[in-house]
């Protein structure tokens, strides 16, 4: 029995060590990956050693051409790799500077391209000098000769839904390990007790056993003695129990209050849409996309055709080495839109966004009342949306939160004939009082629950 | 309170039966078995403690586990390409038409959810009847077929087309008739399609017949004036209206139109100008129209003809040999003749009979009275019913003879509603090609080889021409839900017409015919919904032919009808001809008079039933020489002795889960002359009535006056005289600075038709609970129409004209008042003070709010409500398999109004004064930065009321219609003496007893 017990103790030790090792492992792996990445980056810099004309051309190309062209891919205009071989330089210079004129003059090649691309004329660039064009062509030649970029070298897809789950999994694993560890400790303890009981029976002498124990474990005896003494102090026990109950109770109470409150809820969306980029960097007004916020109860997620207003042209190819952004491709996939032919197909598939702001069905909320009538900024409830790469729930959306705002917010009645009469009647009763939403009945049940 | 009348809701109450008093002490019909649980097996069981602990432990564990789950992920799926006209959360309205009446269809995110009258429509001017209001549920009927059927199996349309074409060509080649059997077709485009079809198959014969036929009037007009049409009646021009069994406010021809006209001479405005029409009704059963009559005389069906002969004799001064065996009626006829001749040129006599001789006689009477051109318009006829059953009868004979090769049924169901349906079924077997255009496998469709399922009217293009000069368009408001095809499109397809698309056909037809006349474009019509051409000039008319032969026929026919017990068949106001039998809203709509739901019954006069030894709810067999049915008996005050009334439109067999087996089919009785025998059989069948659920304990809640009294003192009978008692308030006054929403209801206008109930159901997601639950007093209607019977008890001095009213003792002479009752939104609401959780509270706009999610279901409020208008959700009607047949299925729930929550089990609900409409109206005003004008917000009940009996508005606006209405002298508040300060004012009912010239 002793042997078994000591063996078990050894096992516990080794498991502890193993656990530590597991904890430290991810850090190590991370460090390694970073190292690899840096080395790769270094390698690629070496490979694209700059050459005189092409370097100047690169700047011009990126500034002026990438919105419609990629090197190895047809975007709005044709793929440009090999363009030097398809047309002579003089023709190209003329074309780039003013293609519509060439089409109008009836140049055969020009008309052919014009027809091929759905009669969409290329923007003329009269500001380019011949040298500029030559530089660009040089760049195209240098880069285009390299051939299409290897797919595997392309940018990694942004972490998708799986990443979210993996986080959960890591925490779950840790929790499992901890629980297992605790179970093992407990078992160890139980084994100890059982052993003592066995001994007790074997020796059949209580006094002897106690003596033996006292002899064997001097240290524990002292500790247990203090503990026993403390346990016998009823006032202390009462105090400790009270503290325990209070702590647990208050935690429980707080928890109950927060049941169903989803502040900070940030689900992984099917498309990595960034409000930071659209509303923040690009300064697109909220209601350009959420167009019904000012006239309906729903702000509504924009339909894909609204996305296409911009993303038919904006394809972020410059960020993905001439490829269309994989996220924008998801819009195309949903609409079954083929960017090559610019045609819509039949095989559409709606985008299933995850709803973040969930009001219960029993509460009626109307966006237009708040946005249009009250003139409240979207950020008031939705938080710093312009800084959110991924949207999360900023406000608690509890009734208390609604009510508090209704209590303090003054009614935006200026220039609104509807309120004139109502307020005039009101003045008679409550003189000089601040007219908040609450004063006009904004706290009544039936204003939101029906 | 100077009314000495006694009112009663049901016979139990009048007789003051002790059980009735006992059973009505309690708010709820059945006590909860709490005592049983506590005293009975509950606690003395062997191991209650352990079970209790186990259950508790399990419950705790389950709850904790359930609480651990993360909130479910909700998806939000936007449109890929949003239709330009759709903004989610904002309804779209489309102008369309239902049975010729122009309507607006409210759609949300592409689903039709409510039908409303088109305010510009000249027929209904914004109001609608119960059937049209309920029609939106027909679209979401689960009994509808999903695909066309061929020999009972689903087939693609190509197979149906091949079968139909082969059958039609075969019939054509064999020289046999191809019959298209329809109900009335007044759609110009459908007629054009049938013409195109006939051009391709010249053997085609179009036979139109109606379940409820008006061919008697059409034939009579042909005989009398050479015009085979249904006239338009102008009740608004009539000062004296005499009706012989025509229920023109409930079910006769065009009740919506007639109610509008009728009420225009009896509403508040008319009374203010000291004018009121007089209405005398002679009838067998108590109809909705009978309840509104100033004087009502019960007549046996066989006496109606004789009465008309006598009336003609009185008016024309000729003597007649026919004698009425009814002293009361005889006297009444004399008085009526006097009144009618006094009102020559502004009098109208109508008869509900479908016998052409009787109708010829009525024509003669109206001609004597100079009604043509004033109260009857033959030059602008009505095309609402043009069917002729004689044509159909001939067709059945032809079918039996085997000379019909193919028959197509469009919007007709003779296997159910033809009087000789047995003979018809037999004849049908002799037809080779049988095709039905029904949208479900109904009685006739199931006998056909092919069912080419038709669109619902909300999915279809179409048009109608219900009256001369009025054309309405029907446009689709949703894509076809199932694989159905418009019947007209099928006909065009089979006729190999170059135009296969019905939309193109309708448009071309309008552009060729109606639009040039009206000087409008197609787009105008789509927006307006209808075109109204100026009325044709009225040409003077003379009665042709000798009337004496007609009179002789009427007398001999009447004599044939006379029997020991005479059967009176009538058209139920709620279900009509039974076409919408699978509509739960209509099945649960209480009958306007008897308040019975979910059944038809044999109505007997209580005194007469006593004589026969029959008790109420006994089962009886009604037997004619060819047909018999078993029905429960209902005691109906006002019913003529020796008669029994049975409603048509019930007893469907293949209409769907809702309507199958509800009531008994009485159509086969139409083939008989009306003589039946009544035999009591074993069994007791209690009908589910809504009215007898509460007792009003004789309180003074109905107030009436006669027109004479009103002229003397407009406040007569309303209790508004002299000083009122000083009242004391326990509560502080509740300020209503913004709006103060109130209502005024004119009891003199309300006809009790029940359209408001269905409109409220559709607007507020009111659940349908079914017969069993209604029987347990658990109906959920937010608005009910209470019907109070009364008769005069005192022997007042009798003026000659008033004698008609003073005929008593046989339970025939009852008068009726209809009182719409919904939450009164009391200022000092008794419900609010007893709610332990403040789930029902008052708003600063005068509305009594109900927060469902706060309610814990103590039901104190319902107990404390003096008006008994609160409804308790005994079940989760929207998610409980027991209610699958009604509204608990995903398909039917598409009709729900998304702006109103569906209530959960265990909470109270009641009329919210359509708070969603008020909020929406206010928001619209705020967005537009304008003031909220009177009439911008309308209640669902108010909007649909054909009588304009309900007026809603802001009492803080002195110019509003409701403010003005509430200053009327007739206004009183129900149970005013409780000082609960209700927000709904009622106006006394005025009866024109005729002692003053109207």
In tens, the pLDDT along A415-434 reads: 888 888 777 767 766 666 77
Alpha carbon of B473 to those of B99, B138, B391, B396, B531: distances in Å? 11, 19, 29, 33, 9
List, in order, residues 6 or more apart from B907 with CB less than 8 Å away: B839, B852, B853, B855, B857, B872, B873
Torsion sign, CA atoms A238, A241, A243, A249: negative
- B75, B739, B927 ranked by CB distance to A355: nearest: B75
Set of chain B residues whose Cβ sits within 8 Å of the Cβ of A352 = 75-77
Give B-chain residues touching A335 at CB under 8 angstroms: 80-81
DSSP state at residue A280 = I
Predicted local confidence at residue A20, as pLDDT = 55
What's the mean pLDDT when you consider all of chain A?
A: 77
pLDDT in tens, chain A (450 residues): 444 455 555 555 555 555 555 555 444 444 444 443 444 434 343 333 334 577 788 878 877 787 677 777 666 677 787 787 788 888 888 888 888 788 888 788 888 887 777 677 787 787 788 888 888 888 888 777 776 554 444 333 344 434 344 567 778 888 888 888 888 888 988 988 898 888 887 765 544 444 445 444 555 566 788 888 888 888 888 999 999 999 999 988 888 888 778 888 888 999 999 999 999 888 998 888 998 898 899 988 999 999 998 888 888 888 888 788 889 999 999 999 988 888 888 889 999 999 999 888 889 999 999 999 998 999 999 999 999 999 999 999 999 999 999 999 888 888 888 888 777 767 766 666 778 888 888 889 989 998
- Higher per-residue pLDDT: B92 or A260: B92
CB contact under 8 A, A300 and B926: no
Q: In which order are the strands placed within the sheet that holds B566-571?
A: B566-571, B643-648, B602-604, B628-635, B618-623, B677-684
Q: Contact A353/B849, CB-based, under 8 Å?
A: no
Q: What residues in B contact A369, CB-CB < 8 Å?
A: 923, 926
Q: How far apart are the CA of B739 and the nearest CA of chain A, in angstroms?
A: 8
d(CA B222, CA B228): 4
Min Cα separation B986/chain A (Å)? 25
Distance (Å) from the alpha carbon of B56 to chain A's nearest alpha carbon? 20
Distance CA A132, CA B791 (A): 106
Q: Do B851 and A447 touch (CB under 8 A)?
A: no
Nearest to B457 by CA among B156, B132, B211, B197: B132
What's the CA gap between B172 and B398, in Å, rounded? 16
Q: Cα B177 to chain center, whole Å?
A: 38
B 595-624 residues with CB below 8 A of A?
A: none
How far away is chain B from the Cα of A270, in angstroms, using its nearest Cα? 11
Nearest of B848, B783, B781 to residue B820 by alpha carbon: B783
Do the Cβ atoms of A295 and B78 come within 8 Å? no
Residue pLDDT, tens place only, B874-922: 989 888 888 887 888 888 889 999 999 999 899 999 999 999 999 999 9
Residue B930 to residue A418, Cβ atoms within 8 A: yes
Is residue B737 within 8 angstroms of chain A, CB to CB? yes
What is the rounded CA–CA span in Å between residue B8 and residue B595? Answer: 14
Cα separation, B533 vs B526, in Å, equals: 16
Choose, out of B69, B83, B89, the residue to mutate when testing the contact with A (most A CBs < 10 Å): B89
Chain B residues in contact with A418 by the CB 8 A cut-off are 922, 925-926, 929-932
Of B541, B217, B239, B516, which is closest to residue B357 (Cα–Cα)? B217
Mean of the pLDDT values across residues B392-421? 90
Chain pair A-B, CB pairs under 8 angstroms:
152
- CB proximity B854 to A under 8 Å: yes
A332: closest chain B residue by CA: B80
pLDDT tens-digit readout, B10-43: 666 666 556 666 666 666 666 666 666 666 555 5
Model pLDDT for residues B337-385, shown as the tens digit of each residue: 888 888 888 899 999 988 888 999 999 899 888 888 889 988 899 999 9
Cβ of B850 within 8 Å of Cβ of A366? The answer is no
pLDDT at B538 over 50: yes
Burial (CB < 10 A; 0-12, 13-18, 19+), residue A327, is middle
Per-residue pLDDT of B935-956, as tens digits, reads 899 999 999 999 999 999 999 8
Cβ distance A358 to B925 less than 8 Å, yes or no, reads: no
Which domains, and CATH codes, for chain A?
2-32+161-232 (no CATH), 52-148 (1.10.760.10), 398-450 (no CATH)
Alpha-carbon distance A232 to A227, whole Å?
9
Say if the Cβ atoms of B77 and A350 lie within 8 Å.
yes
CA gap B188, B509 in Å, rounded: 8
Structure tokens at A145: 């000769």
- What domains does chain B contain, in order, with CATH numbers? 6-14+693-719+740-991 (3.30.70.20), 149-212+387-460+469-532 (3.40.50.740), 235-371 (3.40.228.10), 563-689 (2.40.40.20)
pLDDT tens readout for residues B748-765: 999 999 999 999 999 999
Determine the residue of chain B that is closest to A356 in CA distance. Answer: B74
Instruction: Give the chain A residue whose CA is nearest to the CA of B933.
Output: A418
Say if B69 is an interface residue toward chain A (CB within 8 Å): no
Contact partners, residue B434, CB within 8 Å, separation at least 6: B406, B407, B409, B428, B447, B448, B449, B450
Are A417 and B75 a contacting pair at CB < 8 A? no
Q: Chain A: nearest CA to B156, how far in angstroms?
A: 23
State whether A262 and B71 contact (CB < 8 Å).
yes
Give the confidence band of B718 by pLDDT, cuts at 50, 70, 90: confident
Residues on chain B touching A357 (C-beta within 8 angstroms): none
State residue B181's pLDDT score: 93
Say whether A450 and B901 touch across the interface (CB within 8 A).
Answer: yes
Q: Which of B81, B88, B736, B737 to mutate to test the interface with A (most CBs of A within 10 A)?
A: B737
- Of all residues in chain B, the percent with pLDDT exceeding 70 is 91
Q: Which 3 state secondary structure label does DSSP give B582?
A: coil
Under 8 Å between Cβ of A92 and A342: no
| Contact status of B82 with chain A (Cβ, < 8 Å) | yes
Taking the CA of residue A187 and the nearest CA in chain B, the distance in Å comes to: 26
Of B464, B462, B438, B436, nearest to B450 by C-alpha is B436
Neighbours of A386 (CB within 10 A): 17
Per the CB < 8 A criterion, the answer to whether B293 and B812 are in contact is no
Mean pLDDT of chain B: 86
Q: Give A-chain residues touching B738 at CB under 8 angstroms.
A: 422, 425-426, 440-441
- Residue ranges of E strands in A340-433: 343-344, 353-354
Q: Which of A259, A354, A373 sits opposite B927 (nearest CB)?
A: A373
Partners of residue B901 in chain A, C-beta under 8 Å? 361-362, 449-450
Give the C-alpha distances (Å, rounded to integers) separating A179 from A25, A166, A186.
Answer: 20, 20, 10
Give the C-alpha distances (Å, rounded to integers) separating B372 from B220, B246, B277, B311, B355: 14, 18, 18, 18, 20
pLDDT reading at B62 higher than 60: yes
Structure token pair of residue B605: 């006069």
Q: Confidence band (pLDDT; 50, 70, 90) for B743?
A: very high
């Amino acid at each position: 029995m002793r042997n078994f017990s000591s063996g078990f103790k050894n096992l516990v030790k080794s498991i502890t060590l193993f656990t530590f090792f597991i904890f430290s492992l991810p850090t190590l792996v991370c460090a390694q990956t970073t190292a690899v990445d840096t080395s790769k980056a270094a390698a690629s810099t070496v490979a694209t050693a700059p050459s005189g004309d092409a370097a100047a051309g690169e700047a011009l190309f990126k500034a002026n051409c990438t919105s419609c062209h990629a090197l190895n891919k047809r975007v709005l205009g044709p793929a440009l790799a090999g363009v030097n071989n398809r047309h002579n330089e003089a023709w190209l210079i003329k074309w780039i500077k003013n293609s519509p004129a060439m089409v109008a003059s009836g140049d055969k090649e020009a008309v052919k391209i014009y027809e091929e691309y759905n009669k969409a004329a290329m923007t003329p660039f009269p500001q380019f000098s011949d040298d500029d064009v030559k530089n660009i062509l040089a760049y195209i030649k240098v880069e285009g000769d390299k051939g299409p970029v290897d797919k595997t070298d392309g940018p990694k897809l942004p972490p998708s839904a799986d990443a979210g789950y993996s986080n959960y999994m890591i925490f779950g694993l840790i929790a499992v390990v901890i629980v297992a560890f605790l179970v093992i400790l407990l078992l160890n303890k139980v084994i100890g007790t059982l052993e003592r009981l066995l001994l007790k029976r074997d020796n059949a002498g209580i006094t002897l056993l106690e003596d033996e124990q006292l002899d064997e474990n001097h240290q524990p005896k002292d500790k247990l003695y203090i503990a026993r003494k403390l346990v016998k102090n009823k006032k202390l026990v009462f105090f400790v129990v009270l503290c325990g109950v209070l702590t647990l109770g208050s935690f429980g109470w707080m928890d109950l209050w927060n049941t169903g409150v989803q502040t900070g809820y940030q689900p992984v969306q099917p498309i990595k849409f960034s409000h930071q980029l659209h509303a923040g960097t690009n300064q697109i007004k909220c209601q350009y996309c959420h167009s019904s916020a000012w006239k309906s109860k729903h702000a509504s997620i924009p339909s894909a055709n609204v996305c296409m207003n911009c993303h038919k042209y904006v394809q972020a190819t410059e960020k993905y080495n001439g490829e269309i952004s994989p996220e924008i491709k998801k819009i195309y996939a949903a609409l079954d839109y083929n960017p090559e032919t610019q045609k819509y197909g039949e095989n559409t598939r709606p985008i299933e966004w995850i709803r973040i702001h969930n009001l219960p069905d029993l509460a009626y909320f109307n966006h237009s009342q708040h946005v249009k009538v009250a003139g409240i900024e979207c950020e008031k409830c939705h938080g710093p949306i312009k800084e959110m790469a991924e949207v999360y729930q900023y406000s608690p959306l509890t009734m208390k939160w609604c009510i508090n705002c209704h209590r303090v917010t003054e009614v935006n009645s200026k220039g609104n004939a509807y309120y004139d009469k109502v307020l005039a009647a009101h003045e008679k009763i409550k003189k000089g009082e601040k007219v908040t939403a609450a004063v006009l009945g904004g706290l009544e049940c039936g204003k939101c629950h029906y | 309170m100077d009314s000495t009348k006694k009112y009663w809701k049901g016979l139990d109450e009048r007789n003051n039966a002790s059980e009735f008093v006992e059973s009505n002490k309690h708010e709820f019909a059945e006590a909860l078995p709490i005592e049983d649980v506590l005293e009975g097996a509950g606690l003395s069981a062997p191991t209650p403690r352990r079970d209790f602990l186990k259950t508790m432990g399990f419950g705790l564990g389950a709850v904790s586990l359930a609480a651990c789950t993360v909130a479910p992920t909700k998806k939000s799926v936007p449109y890929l390409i949003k239709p330009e006209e759709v903004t989610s959360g904002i309804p779209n309205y489309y102008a369309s038409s239902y049975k010729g009446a122009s309507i607006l269809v409210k759609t949300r995110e592409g689903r039709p959810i409510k039908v409303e009258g088109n305010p510009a429509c000249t027929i209904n001017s914004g109001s609608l009847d119960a059937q049209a209001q309920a029609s939106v549920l027909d679209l979401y009927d689960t009994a509808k077929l999903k695909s066309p059927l061929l020999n009972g199996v689903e087939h693609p349309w190509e197979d149906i087309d091949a079968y139909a074409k082969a059958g039609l060509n075969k019939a054509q080649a064999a020289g046999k008739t191809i019959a298209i059997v329809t109900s009335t077709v007044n759609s110009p485009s459908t007629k054009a399609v049938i013409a195109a079809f006939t051009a391709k198959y010249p053997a085609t014969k179009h036979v139109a017949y109606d379940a409820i036929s008006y061919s008697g009037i059409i034939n009579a007009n042909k005989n009398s004036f050479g015009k085979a049409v249904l006239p338009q009646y102008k009740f608004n021009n009539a000062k004296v209206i005499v009706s012989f069994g025509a229920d023109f406010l409930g079910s006769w021809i065009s009740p919506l139109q007639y109610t509008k006209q009728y009420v225009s001479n009896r509403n508040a405005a008319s009374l203010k100008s000291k004018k009121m029409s007089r209405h005398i009704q002679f009838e067998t059963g108590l109809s909705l129209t009978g309840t509104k009559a100033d004087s009502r005389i019960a007549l046996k069906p066989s006496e109606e003809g004789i009465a008309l002969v006598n009336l003609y004799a009185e008016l024309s001064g000729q003597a007649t040999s026919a004698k009425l065996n009814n002293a009361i009626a005889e006297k009444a006829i004399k008085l009526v003749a006097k009144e009618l001749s006094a009102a020559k040129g502004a009098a109208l006599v109508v008869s509900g009979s479908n016998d052409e001789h009787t109708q010829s006689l009525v024509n003669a009477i109206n001609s004597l009275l100079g009604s043509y051109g004033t109260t009857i318009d033959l030059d602008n006829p009505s095309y609402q019913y043009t069917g002729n059953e004689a044509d159909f009868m001939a067709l059945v004979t032809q079918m039996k003879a085997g000379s019909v090769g193919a028959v197509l049924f469009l919007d007709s169901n003779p296997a159910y509603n033809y009087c000789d349906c047995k003979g018809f079924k037999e004849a049908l077997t002799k037809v080779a090609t049988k095709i039905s255009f029904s949208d479900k496998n109904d009685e006739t469709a199931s006998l056909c080889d092919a069912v080419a399922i038709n669109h619902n009217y909300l999915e279809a293009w179409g048009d109608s021409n219900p009256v001369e000069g009025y054309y309405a368009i029907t446009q689709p408001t949703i894509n076809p839900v199932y694989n159905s095809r418009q019947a007209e499109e099928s006909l065009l397809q089979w006729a190999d017409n170059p135009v296969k698309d019905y939309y193109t056909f309708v448009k071309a037809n309008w552009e060729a015919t109606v639009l040039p006349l009206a000087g409008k474009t197609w787009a105008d019509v789509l927006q307006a919904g209808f075109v109204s051409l100026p009325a044709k000039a009225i040409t003077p008319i003379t009665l042709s032919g000798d009337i004496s032969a007609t009179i002789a026929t009427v007398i001999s026919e009447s004599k044939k009808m006379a029997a020991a017990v005479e059967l009176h068949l009538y058209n139920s106001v709620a279900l009509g001809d039974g076409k919408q039998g699978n509509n739960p809203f209509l099945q649960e709509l209480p009958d306007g008079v008897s308040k019975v739901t979910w059944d038809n019954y044999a109505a007997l006069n209580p005194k007469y039933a006593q004589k026969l030894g029959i008790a109420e709810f006994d089962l009886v067999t009604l037997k004619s020489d060819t047909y018999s049915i078993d029905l429960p008996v209902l005691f109906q005050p006002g019913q003529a002795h020796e008669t029994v009334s049975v409603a048509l439109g019930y007893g469907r067999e293949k209409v769907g889960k809702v309507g199958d087996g509800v009531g008994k089919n009485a159509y086969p009785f139409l083939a008989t002359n009306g003589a039946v025998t009544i035999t009591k059989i074993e069994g007791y069948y209690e009908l589910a009535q809504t009215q007898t659920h509460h007792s009003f304990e004789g309180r003074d809640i109905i107030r009436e006056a006669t027109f004479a009294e009103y002229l003397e003192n407009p406040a007569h009978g309303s209790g508004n005289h002299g000083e009122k008692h000083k009242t004391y308030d326990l509560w502080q006054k509740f300020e209503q600075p913004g709006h103060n929403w109130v209502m005024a209801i004119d009891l003199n206008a309300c006809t009790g038709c029940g359209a408001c109930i269905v409109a409220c159901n559709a607007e507020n997601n009111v659940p349908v609970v079914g017969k069993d639950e209604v029987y347990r007093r658990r109906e959920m209607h937010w608005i009910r129409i209470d019907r109070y019977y009364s008769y005069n008890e005192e022997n007042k001095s009798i003026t000659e004209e008033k004698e008609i009213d003073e005929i008593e003792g046989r339970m025939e002479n009852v008068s009726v008042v209809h009182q719409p009752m919904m939450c009164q939104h009391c200022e000092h609401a008794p419900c609010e003070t007893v709610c332990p959780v403040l789930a029902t509270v008052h708003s600063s706009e005068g509305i009594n709010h109900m927060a469902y999610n706060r309610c814990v279901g103590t039901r104190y409020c319902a107990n404390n409500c003096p008006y008994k208008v609160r409804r308790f959700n005994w079940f989760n009607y929207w998610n409980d398999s027991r209610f699958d047949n009604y509204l608990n299925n995903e398909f039917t729930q598409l009709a729900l109004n998304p702006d109103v929550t569906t209530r959960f089990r265990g909470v109270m609900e009641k009329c919210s004064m359509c708070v969603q409409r008020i909020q929406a109206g206010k928001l619209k005003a705020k967005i537009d930065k304008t003031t909220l004008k009177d009439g911008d917000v309308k209640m669902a009940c108010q909007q649909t009321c054909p009588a304009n009996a309900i007026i809603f508005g802001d009492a803080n606006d002195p110019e509003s219609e409701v403010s003005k209405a509430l200053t009327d002298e007739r206004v009183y508040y129900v149970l005013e003496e409780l000082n609960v300060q209700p927000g709904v004012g009622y106006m006394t009912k005025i009866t024109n007893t005729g002692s003053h010239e109207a």
